[in-house]
Structure 1
Amino acid sequence: MPWFRLILCCCLYTPLALLAQDSHLAEAAAPIPALENYFKESLNTRDGLPHNTINAIAQTPDGYLWFGTWEGVARYNGREFQVYDRSPLTGLPDVGVRTFHLDRHQALWVAGSRGGLVKIKDGIWQAHPPLGVLINRVLLDSQDRLWLATEGKGLYRQNPDGSRIVLQQTDGLPSDQVHSLLEDQAGRIWIGTSDGLVFLDQQLQLQQPTAVELHRTPVFALTERENELLVGTERGLFSIATPTSAVETLLANVPVSALLQESRDLLWIGTVDRGLLRQYHGVTEQLDIRRGLPNNRILALLQDNEKSLWVGTNGGVFRLRDAPFTTYTTEQGLAGNFVRAVLSHSDGCIYVGSGRGLDQFCNGQFKRLDMSAASVGQSVLSLAEGPDGSLWAGTYADGLIQLKQGQVVQHYHAGNLLPANEVRAILPLADGKIWVGTALGAAYIDNGTVQYFSREQGLPSPFIMALYQSADQRIFIGSGAGVAVLKPDGSLQRLNLQPFDDADYAFGFAEDAEAGLLWMTTDRGLLAYDLASEQIRMIGRAQGMPFDKLFQLVLDQQGHFWISSNRGVLRLERQVALDLIAGRRGWVDIELYGESDGMSSAQANGGSMKAATLHHDGSVWVATSMGVSNVKPKRLERFSRINPPVVVEKFVADDHELTLGDEYVLAAGTNRIEIHYAGLGYVMSQRIQYRTLLEGFDLQWVNRGSSILAEYTNLPPGDYRFRVAAAYPGGDWSKNEAVLTFTVLPHLWQRGWFQLLLLAILAGSLILGIRWRLGSLQRSELRLRKLVAEQTAELQLLARQDALTGLANRRAFDEALQHEYQRAQRYHTTLCLALLDVDHFKRVNDQLSHAVGDEVLKRVAAVLKQQSRSIDLLARWGGEEFAILLPDTSLEDATEVCERLRHKVERLDLNDIAPDLRITISIGLTTNYKLDLSQLLLHADQALYQAKRDGRNLLVIAGQPNKNG
């Protein structure tokens, strides 16, 4: 706002400007990142916070971050929140938390609604008597006196013996609403109230500073900066050196709500309604909701052990931090966010091509290059540098443009030499000639003449995405259907990529001269082409690549591959890749970087040149769908040097979570143990690596990767000591390991005295047993024979029984049918056969699921088994069909049996499976009269078909009219 800037400029002794207009001043003042260049992220209720208003933030010595909200305390480990509210554990009288205070004894005080006051130390919550009024601030001074600032009842002092004394307006306090507290180096207690600033001297006498600017105004925040006191008020930010000195105005007419002094020259300022400010060497920058802040009201500030800034707002937690990647978007001056090409130029600048034009990035500033003389849309797809230092830009719809000193000097398009205006690949040669890859083929331009290459000339596809000239002058052409190689003798060779997981698209090339390889990024992973032998080897999904499609490979100065993709940027150690293609290892370890690492979008773009590039300063630049991202591999070493602390968070024995303590004694027979742990690092939380050692079980450390759980089953009795260490990728393991000790008790038979007793009994039994040895052997032989017979019978039963219904299966039924048919023929008896089918069973499976269908079949089988006779053989014929063999049964009796079965199934209650579900069956019945075995089955099946055709839920007897039809 113009009036706000005018007031600021008038009131400050040094030049002051907001980020929106004068961020370049801040960049010039000192070598620290501008606010806009920090990686920003927000956490809110969607991420697990109980409330979006963050009143207080603290970090305890164990590394945990704590957030105070109106719905309780949230403890954060970098991955998830653990919420603590009103409960016997916390002792809080209300869930509302207003303030934290980490005292000099490393205890965390929690206070808030209804005067709740709790001290947390070593995981123990100790509740103190509540005050009955909201507590705004807590301070434990150097004399171990506890000061409690309240909302309407003044200032309480709790002495070490627990006694309390209250100081109120009647005692000289300007107001009973106390907002802020601070003990300075001289031992004075400063008190910020809703009506001005006062202090208690060493004799606890209440006094007021002489500066009238600090009278009669709400004082929300206090902090010290060397020998001066900083005072954040409703009217602005002020400083005084002594209680009697004159005030210095640091920020006027800005309501200040929170202060954090990061260093002598760097101050973070939270405001009531203006967002977050940073003062550095007299220059002020602003970050508000227009630049990513979730809410302009700032309630708390904290810098954690890894130098990240955590900001409590009315819209959740906001975080500013350094990250492996820095991303530039339109907010920093980029023409467009959808970046297709990025080029490191010999002039020391980075050139960025996007859907909105071409940018030059030099000395931290973006400059738009005007191509309007040759390009209407100015949508840039590809970039390359010519041998004379000129810049070539391939566009989406306007062909190829050459620029010198920012001016268009050459323009090739479909009307003059190019086969198409869509230019995705550019290869300027040292002799001034140039290769151009378009959507309709490649063009080789030589001083105004052109030679075209497409399918007719042997290219696998006219859609050209990559061009490369190797050191031996071969031209590699990457297309949408593979790779072609133009040799110096003019012959064109097509590389067969089909054996490599049917690779098709070739997005980019990178030569590894030392290894004699050309690396090709494809839609099926990474291919290594041996320039000498022309052999190809693959690193794909089967070798550890997390996905198929890779766009551009860059080899950094530290010996790592950086590979762009649709799902992030991969880092792979070059030597590991070489070992894999040489057969010295079978798997690659990949690090995948994305949005949590500073990229605005993990989606990198590809299909044009160059999608990634290595700059002269060692940084790697990547084109993404949300700006251009860069990473300085050397900076990763700084992250790796951080040793994140590690804690054990949960100990579970046989699905029962145990309260964390010093030692555990587990019952005999404890089967499964789970130990959950977390590395409390917040720069790259998801990348923290772990290793564990269970002393008494493991012989060496076990690398757990990023897993935060160790499981053990069937541990033998004994004493165990569990150790876990954490590290960032490439860093050293944390020196302060988390340790947990526990004992698994033995069963009675596992105890030493019992084993000695058992040994003595066994020795005596052995002496007696010699006499009975032969008898025992004989009895053992009998038992074995019996066991074998039982198991054989059981296996035979399983081989003849349907697993779902428990009825005889098709095999058993076929054998019984053959036997009964032969017996009926021999003794001239009647044999009836019925085939049953569950009506509309496919609807049950399709509409209610196969699990419901299986349950229906089991219920139907149970009814059939219950209602059939003892002489009948019931079997599952297949699918939803059943068969009943009725020996020595007349057709009339068989009809009665089948009708009984049909009626019982029709009345079957299946509401417990699915509401209103009703099942019926159709039955086809026949007899062996004048029929051979095959005809018997055929007639029964035809009768069943007739029952289905006549409306289902019927019994049809073969050779007789349907009485129900």
Structure 2
Amino acid sequence: MDWTSVFKTTPRLSASKCLQLHCVFALAAFLMVPPSQAGDTTSVPSPLPLTDHDKPLSQYALRSWDTRDGLPHNSVNNIAQDRDGYLWLATWEGPVRFNGREFTVFDDLNVLQMPESGVLGVVADPASRSVWFSGPRGGMTHFDGNQWQGMDIAPGFVFQLARDHQNNVWAAASSGGVARYTGQQRTRVYTTDDGLPEGFVYRLYMAPAQGERPERLWVGTSGGLAFYDAASDSFIHDTSFPNEQVRGFLLHSNGMMLVSSENGLYFQNNPGEPFVPWPDIANSRLHGPITALAEGPYGGIWFGTFTRGLGRITASGLSWMDTASGLPNPQVLSIFKDRENNMWVSTHSGLVQLRDALFTSYTETHGVQGNFVRAIAEDTQQRIWVGSNQGLSVKQDNVFTAAVADPDFSPISILAFAATADGGMYVGGYNKGLFKVVDGEVVAQLNRDHGLTRNEVRGIYVLTPQRLILGIPSGFAVVDDTPDGFELVEEYNDPAGRLPATVTDVVLINHTQAFFTSTMGITQVNMVGEPDAWQFEHIDLAAFTPARNAFSATLHEQQVWFATDRGLVMYDLNEQRWHWIGREQGLPFDKYFNILFDEQNNLWLGSNRGVTVVGGDSMAALLAGVQSQVQTFHFREAEGLVSSQVNTGGPSSLRDSYGRLWFATALGVSKVDGFEFSQSDVVPPTSVIERALADGKPLHSGASLSADTQRLEFYFAGLGYRMTDHIQYQVKLRGFDSDWVSQDQQVSTQYTALPPGEFEFLVRSRYPGGVWSEPANLQFQRQPQVWQTLWFWVLVVSAVVGLVYAVFYWRTYQLEQTERELKRLVAEKTRALELLANEDPLTKLANRRAFDQRVQQEVARAKREMTPLCIAIIDLDHFKAINDSFTHSIGDSVLVQVGEVLTTNLRNVDFIARWGGEEFAVLFPNATPQEAKVVCERLRDAMAATRFKQLPEGWKVTMSIGLTELVQGYNYDKALVDADNALYRAKESGRNQLQIAKQLT
């Protein structure tokens, strides 16, 4: 098929048609090209070794964006990153810039200077803000960080771009080969006459210089592979690669060159060697079109496909991620690794980020028996046990398996754990009582058949190696573990209220002291003697906290910590003193279910809204009275937590022997190795000022603001993608602020009524606990008012001195002159104040006060001269939509222009005032309702025909009018009511019309 002729006969295609044609070509190429022959496999070399330190793809934190999040189109064709750190996306609805929080779409063809808004290729200069885009119909454009500039049209569709170290840009064109650009000019087009195996060029790749490999431009065509030879200024066809469509390139950090095609993956260990198929290709696991290639953060080979989603090759083999494991679409278009080693995958259903997040999660796909996990524990063999609503799992050697081999044991809903002394586990079930599991077998059981009131065991607490306390809905039970099995000692339920009805946790202080937590609060227990002699003291929580429900407790360094429905409660055993820490002390939520301490004494709190970490140093400072707030950090799914719903259980969190923290959630179990609040080794995100406004107008660095400027707004971003939602900001207005001002996670700030002077706005960002970035800055100055200048005060002082001198000689005469001057100034000030009191400050029209005064004058005149007098009330239609869509500053400028239109179209004798908001009132002296109607219709037509430059094309401002006549003896307030009722009928009748008061119709 002649691709050039096809593209010449279809010069104007929509974005959707382009995508369809693209897919048709891909399918046609796949069907037309015969599969390559591997040849004699005994002579084929093996790929260079890969690392095996990467975690499974399913354990990467996954986050996705689509059109619901601001993407203009779900298909992202290519991805690049500029010097500042912005991600640039090539979409069918134009170039898109992403800062981690929001997408900025550039789709104005007049600005882009492209024949079509759809873009296919993007390449960025890592040393500058320059980004180049290509698209259908040969469109090429360049963005230098401030402005867009169109480039010479390329032949046909331009699928991909590449850039060399000499700043030449190369374009893969569908009709004509490869085009080279220097600046904005196309300097050369390379075709099959210049060595290309085919004219349909689909992929370009600028391989950087590495070891013995020089920088080299690789070209993938519909019929094979070629590379650019600078000496001959032509391309050399690499005949070792099959004559099939090239889909992707990658120069691996180990020196291996990889190329993918319609039929699989090929590699070249050293320059000059032939390309050979990847060994696993014969296993049919790595077959079909491989659409994209990238090297992962640990050296794995990431690749995309059309049908199977995302794959990765490491030393341990091949793994996949498809729609079942979170990918929104199995068709992968591009893969990109950013500077922070986050992996970005573009699909036909949106953009995906895969991040090596803080948490590692395990679900049913990893062998866990059920995803709704309620309990987690570690046995004496350092194995992790997980209990869910569907069974019991144990983890050993990084693999989860069923803990009990007997199929009759599952499914069973697990609520509680406690480790036995012999490597087994006590297990509490929802409806089967208490079990003892050793070596995969149930060796003892206690349930209703053995004397328990109910089979529900919510907590298990080892008092001695032979004695257990069980938390049950009716209270608690004491059980002995004997060689013959479990023996129920006694079950306790105190109706007097000293003992909680449902025990949720027990923390042992020593063998004779404990605290019980429950849905009724906290109970201190003296366990001297046999259980029937134990003493219970219910803690009066109301004396120091509004908390009522206590869910769990833990003992840490002579402090007993309780997770409650209103924050944390702590009892200091040394001081014998209670403390309460809630929202007022900096906790983001009220309700927490469990508490863990890591090796740095940070507190980890599980809740239905994720995991909150409280800095240990800040908590100690709070308890010591040094500071009033604790430092917190909150984790959700974006940090790898499998679910933000951390469950309650017995226990539902764990710190294991290696210091790792485990949390039971509604969708599996999540593990974290710890979190350093001091992250000085983490590279901070680049800080950028995205937008600055002075009274609603753009503010540029170096600007000189007028003395009347009232409000400054600054919008900024930290271009980091590891934990975008948690980036912290500080700002400083040099010349106004003495120190940095914390913004937390807020990405904007405002200043009002600044004094005159020179200023510099600075913003810096960091990840929590990390170092601050270099600040971004914007300089400007504000001009002083006349009375704020030095020369003004020099003149004032000179005048005062002259006045004193004149008084000395002509005292009497000067006193008279002064008196006259003061009277004149008072009169002028009085007139000025009267003018201000009667003028609307925005539109400069009369205000309502002035209107009321004028009405009195005109009514008196109408009575005196027996002339008619009409009143109209005008209201702008749908003005709230303008304020909501374009900000109030745009709405204010529209109101100013509305006042000008109304004034221009009134009679000279008419009087207009701004009534309030978007309402105006007009007096028509010596005008009958018919005459006033003519003027009102003229006003309405003029308004509907006015083009408001502040609003986009297609937006119109219309108005509704209510008109009435103020007849002789007619009450003015009644006339206003009639005019307002007429206005209401105009609104109800569809707006943009005039209605006359009913008594006049």
Mark yes or no: TM-score above 0.5: yes
- Structure 1 CA distance for aligned equivalents of residues 443 and 305 of structure 2: 52
Aligned-partner residue type, residue 343 of structure 1 = A
Q: CA offset at residue 14 of structure 1? A: 9.9
Instruction: Give yes or no for contact 2:391–2:410 (8 Å, CA) kept in 1.
Output: no
Aligned to 1:31: 53
The superposition leaves residues 546-576 of structure 1 with CA deviations (integer Å, 9 ceiling, x where unpaired) of: 2221111111111101011111111112343
Match of 1:462 among 501, 509, 512: 501
Listed as ranges, the matches of 1:640-651 within 5 Å are 641-651=682-692
Q: Does 1:656 align with 2:656?
A: no
The superposition leaves residues 715-765 of structure 1 with CA deviations (integer Å, 9 ceiling, x where unpaired) of: 11111122222111111112x221111111122332332332232223334
Q: Does 1:98 align with 2:99?
A: no
RMSD: 3.8
Match of 2:154 among 124, 131, 144: 131
Q: Does 1:557 align with 2:605?
A: no
Q: CA offset at residue 370 of structure 1? A: 2.2
Listed as ranges, the matches of 1:156-167 within 5 Å are 156-159=179-182, 162-167=185-190
Aligned to 1:601: 643
Aligned to 1:618: 659
Q: Structure 1 length normalisation: TM-score?
A: 0.75
- Alpha-carbon distance change, 435 to 192 in structure 1, aligned in 2, over 3 angstroms: same
Listed as ranges, the matches of 1:801-840 within 5 Å are none
Which stretch shows the higher mean deviation, 366-375 or 127-136? Answer: 366-375
Aligned to 1:196: 224
Q: CA offset at residue 669 of structure 1? A: 2.2
- Structure 2 CA distance for aligned equivalents of residues 393 and 124 of structure 1: 67
Q: What secondary structure sits across from 2:258 in the alignment?
A: strand
Instruction: Give yes or no for contact 1:180–1:191 (8 Å, CA) kept in 2.
Output: yes
Q: CA offset at residue 52 of structure 1? A: 0.8
Aligned to 1:831: none
Instruction: Give yes or no for contact 1:268–1:277 (8 Å, CA) kept in 2.
Output: yes
Q: CA offset at residue 187 of structure 1? A: 5.7
Aligned to 1:486: 525
- Structure 1 CA distance for aligned equivalents of residues 451 and 82 of structure 2: 68
Match of 1:111 among 134, 153, 161: 134
Which stretch shows the higher mean deviation, 688-697 or 162-171? Answer: 162-171
Q: CA offset at residue 625 of structure 1? A: 1.0
Q: CA offset at residue 647 of structure 1? A: 0.7
Q: CA offset at residue 418 of structure 1? A: 2.2
Q: What secondary structure sits across from 1:415 in the alignment?
A: helix
Q: CA offset at residue 232 of structure 1? A: 1.4
- Alpha-carbon distance change, 769 to 563 in structure 1, aligned in 2, over 3 angstroms: farther
Match of 2:550 among 501, 506, 513: 506
- Structure 1 CA distance for aligned equivalents of residues 686 and 974 of structure 2: 72
- Alpha-carbon distance change, 11 to 618 in structure 1, aligned in 2, over 3 angstroms: farther
Aligned to 2:144: 121
Listed as ranges, the matches of 1:501-900 within 5 Å are 501-513=545-557, 516-532=558-574, 534-606=576-648, 608-634=649-675, 641-658=682-699, 660=700, 662-734=701-773, 736-767=774-805
Aligned-partner residue type, residue 561 of structure 1 = L
Listed as ranges, the matches of 1:132-531 within 5 Å are 133-159=156-182, 162-169=185-192, 173-183=196-206, 185-186=213-214, 189-204=217-232, 206=234, 208-209=236-237, 211=239, 213-215=241-243, 217-225=244-252, 228-240=256-268, 245-250=273-278, 252=281, 253-262=287-296, 266-281=300-315, 283-370=317-404, 377-446=411-480, 448-456=487-495, 458-471=497-510, 473-489=512-528, 490-513=534-557, 516-531=558-573
- Alpha-carbon distance change, 143 to 692 in structure 1, aligned in 2, over 3 angstroms: closer
Q: CA offset at residue 533 of structure 1? A: 5.5
Instruction: Give yes or no for contact 1:275–1:295 (8 Å, CA) kept in 2.
Output: yes
Instruction: Give yes or no for contact 2:569–2:580 (8 Å, CA) kept in 1.
Output: yes
The superposition leaves residues 24-57 of structure 1 with CA deviations (integer Å, 9 ceiling, x where unpaired) of: x99xx72221212211121111111111111010
Q: CA offset at residue 431 of structure 1? A: 4.2
Q: What secondary structure sits across from 2:101 in the alignment?
A: coil
Which stretch shows the higher mean deviation, 753-762 or 908-917? Answer: 908-917
Instruction: Give yes or no for contact 2:190–2:234 (8 Å, CA) kept in 1.
Output: no
- Structure 2 CA distance for aligned equivalents of residues 733 and 906 of structure 1: 62
- Structure 1 CA distance for aligned equivalents of residues 187 and 379 of structure 2: 71
Instruction: Give yes or no for contact 2:427–2:435 (8 Å, CA) kept in 1.
Output: yes
Q: CA offset at residue 436 of structure 1? A: 0.4
- Alpha-carbon distance change, 407 to 187 in structure 1, aligned in 2, over 3 angstroms: closer
Instruction: Give yes or no for contact 2:703–2:781 (8 Å, CA) kept in 1.
Output: yes
- Structure 2 CA distance for aligned equivalents of residues 389 and 298 of structure 1: 47
Q: Structure 2 length normalisation: TM-score?
A: 0.73
- Alpha-carbon distance change, 377 to 498 in structure 1, aligned in 2, over 3 angstroms: farther
Which consecutive residues of structure 1, in runs of 5 or more, have no partner in the other structure? 1-6, 17-24, 795-804, 807-854, 860-896, 919-965
Aligned-partner residue type, residue 99 of structure 1 = G
Aligned to 1:890: none
Q: What secondary structure sits across from 1:429 in the alignment?
A: strand
- Structure 2 CA distance for aligned equivalents of residues 542 and 777 of structure 1: 62
Instruction: Give yes or no for contact 1:324–1:636 (8 Å, CA) kept in 2.
Output: no
- Alpha-carbon distance change, 241 to 340 in structure 1, aligned in 2, over 3 angstroms: closer
Aligned to 1:824: none
- Alpha-carbon distance change, 101 to 533 in structure 1, aligned in 2, over 3 angstroms: closer
Which stretch shows the higher mean deviation, 355-364 or 584-593? Answer: 584-593
Q: What secondary structure sits across from 2:495 in the alignment?
A: helix
- Structure 2 CA distance for aligned equivalents of residues 474 and 65 of structure 1: 58
Instruction: Give yes or no for contact 1:668–1:745 (8 Å, CA) kept in 2.
Output: yes
Q: CA offset at residue 428 of structure 1? A: 1.2
Q: CA offset at residue 914 of structure 1? A: 7.3
Aligned-partner residue type, residue 795 of structure 2 = L
The ranges of structure 1 where at least 4 consecutive aligned residues each deviate by more than 6 angstroms after the TM superposition are 7-16, 772-780, 897-908, 914-918
Which stretch shows the higher mean deviation, 771-780 or 635-644? Answer: 771-780
- Structure 2 CA distance for aligned equivalents of residues 531 and 53 of structure 1: 60
Which consecutive residues of structure 2, in runs of 5 or more, have no partner in the other structure? 1-36, 208-212, 282-286, 529-533, 838-847, 850-914, 920-967, 990-1001
Instruction: Give yes or no for contact 1:116–1:132 (8 Å, CA) kept in 2.
Output: no
Instruction: Give yes or no for contact 2:615–2:677 (8 Å, CA) kept in 1.
Output: no
The superposition leaves residues 126-177 of structure 1 with CA deviations (integer Å, 9 ceiling, x where unpaired) of: 3212236321122333454432211223222335693533233466543321
- Structure 2 CA distance for aligned equivalents of residues 584 and 101 of structure 1: 52
The superposition leaves residues 330-386 of structure 1 with CA deviations (integer Å, 9 ceiling, x where unpaired) of: 122211111111113331121111111111122211011128688564100111113
Aligned-partner residue type, residue 372 of structure 2 = F
Aligned-partner residue type, residue 286 of structure 1 = W
Q: What secondary structure sits across from 2:543 in the alignment?
A: coil
Instruction: Give yes or no for contact 1:113–1:134 (8 Å, CA) kept in 2.
Output: yes
Aligned-partner residue type, residue 245 of structure 2 = P
- Structure 2 CA distance for aligned equivalents of residues 518 and 163 of structure 1: 74
Instruction: Give yes or no for contact 2:296–2:343 (8 Å, CA) kept in 1.
Output: no
